[in-house]
Structure 1
C-alpha cells in the first residue's frame, strides 16, 4: 500500500517533468499552424499553470496578434476598479480586458500610420490609472474625468476603455482616438493587441 501511495504522489512530478509544447501567445499558435483562423485560443503566458483564453487576430498585418483589449458592442462595462483590470475581465469571445501586473507602464515606439494618426505617443511612459488608483500626471483623476481606465497623462489623446458610445459625443468620455475624428467622436469598436517583434 505504501508503494502505491508513493507512486501516486510522484505521478504529478513525473508528468510535470515531461517536455511540453506550451503556446505562450498567438504568434506561437500561428508558428505552429500558419493557417489558424482568428478566434479564441488557450495560451500559457507564464507557465503550465497559467492557462488563459485570449482572442487571436490572425489577419491584421500578417497575424499572430494577442488581443489584450477588445471593445465591439458595448455589452461590457469598462469603468472598473484597479483589481479587476489587474486580474482581467470579460470573455475572449466578446468584449474583454486580459489583465496585467501592478503599476505597469506603457512603452510605445515605432509608430506606423495606418490612417488614424498617433494618439498613443502622448501616453508613452505613463502608468495605468483607474478611478480608485490614480497614477496619472493630472492634478485630478483622469479615469474619473474621462469615465474610463488607461495610461493617462494629463489627460488623454486616446480613451479606448471609456464609456461605450458610437458617433458624435459632447464630452471626452467615449471610445476616443483624438487624431482620427477628434475628442468628440466615439468609435464603434477598438482592439489593442501585441505580438513579439519579428
Structure 2
C-alpha cells in the first residue's frame, strides 16, 4: 500500500516534467539528433506541439568531432557584431537576428522551451587571444511573460569562466523601454546603454558589469570598465570576441544524481 501511494504522489510530478507534444515531433535539438540529423544547422522543433513550430540552430558537436558532447539548442549567439542588439522589449520577446550568425531566440521561445522539463544551460565564450572557456548550469529556465521572464539558474559547474550570472539569478528582463531591474534611483539600461538583459538593480545600483551577453560589440581587445562590450567578468574584465548560450535536456542519470 505504501508503494502504491508513493507512486501516486510521484506520477503527477513525472507527468509535469515531460513535454506535452505530438508523438514523433522533436521538441529540441537532442530529439532532432536522435531522429537522424547529425549536422549543425537550422531545424524546426515543436516544444509545445505542432501548432507552434520553432526554428532553432542546433549545435550537434560535429564541427569538433565531438558529437556526443553536442545536441545543444542554441538560444543566443554573438560572434562578429553584424546584428544590432540595441532593441526594444518586443524584439527581445519575439526574437531577432540570423540563426546562421548572430541571433536572439526570443524570451517567449526560451520560456516555452524550458518550462515543461529540466534543461541545463551552457555558456561558451572566446576572447580575442583565442582563449575559450565555458560556464554550465545544471538547471535553467525562464518564468512566464507575466513575471517578466525572470531568470532561474541552479547548480553551477565551472568550465573556467566563473559564475557571472549568480547575482542576475532571479531577476526580470529589462530593456530601454521596459524597466524591470528593481533599481529605485535609476534604470540600468538607460543610464549605461548596455542592451537588454536580466539586470540586478537595488539600493547599490546596477550589477550589469558582472555579465551581459547583449552589450555593444567591440571588434578588438577592449577594457570594459564603462560596461561596453560582451561581458563575463568571472573570466575577464575585457570585452569578449564571441559568446553563445545553449540548452539541453538533463538525462535520467543527471535528474536522479
Q: TM-score range by the shorter chain?
A: 0.7 to 0.9
Question: Does structure 1 residue 122 correspond to structure 2 residue 175?
Answer: no
Number of residue equivalences: 177
1:147 positional shift? 2.3
RMSD over equivalenced CA pairs, Å: 1.8
Match of 1:29 among 26, 29, 32: 32
Residues 157-196 of structure 1: pairs in structure 2 closer than 5 A: 157-165=210-218, 166-170=220-224, 171-182=226-237, 185-196=238-249
Q: Which one has the bigger strand percentage?
A: 2
**Please, what TM-score do these two structures have when normalized by structure 1?**
0.83
1:41 positional shift? 1.2
Tell me, which stretches of 5 or more residues in structure 2 are unaligned? 1-21, 109-144, 201-205, 252-257
For the 8 Å contact 1:70–1:192, the answer to whether it is kept is: yes
1:173 positional shift? 1.9
Residues 99-118 of structure 1: pairs in structure 2 closer than 5 A: 99-101=106-108, 102=145, 103-118=148-163
Tell me, which stretches of 5 or more residues in structure 1 are unaligned? 1-18
1:20 positional shift? 5.3
Please identify the structure whose Cα radius of gyration is greater: 1
Q: Which residue of 1 aligns with 2:125?
A: none
Match of 1:142 among 178, 188, 191: 188
Instruction: After superposition, give the CA deviation of every residue in 1:142-164 in whole Å (9 maximum; x if it has no partner).
Output: 12214211111032210110001
Moved more, 164-173 or 68-77: 164-173
Q: Distance in 1 between matches of 2:166 and 2:187?
A: 20
Q: Distance in 2 between matches of 1:168 and 1:162?
A: 13
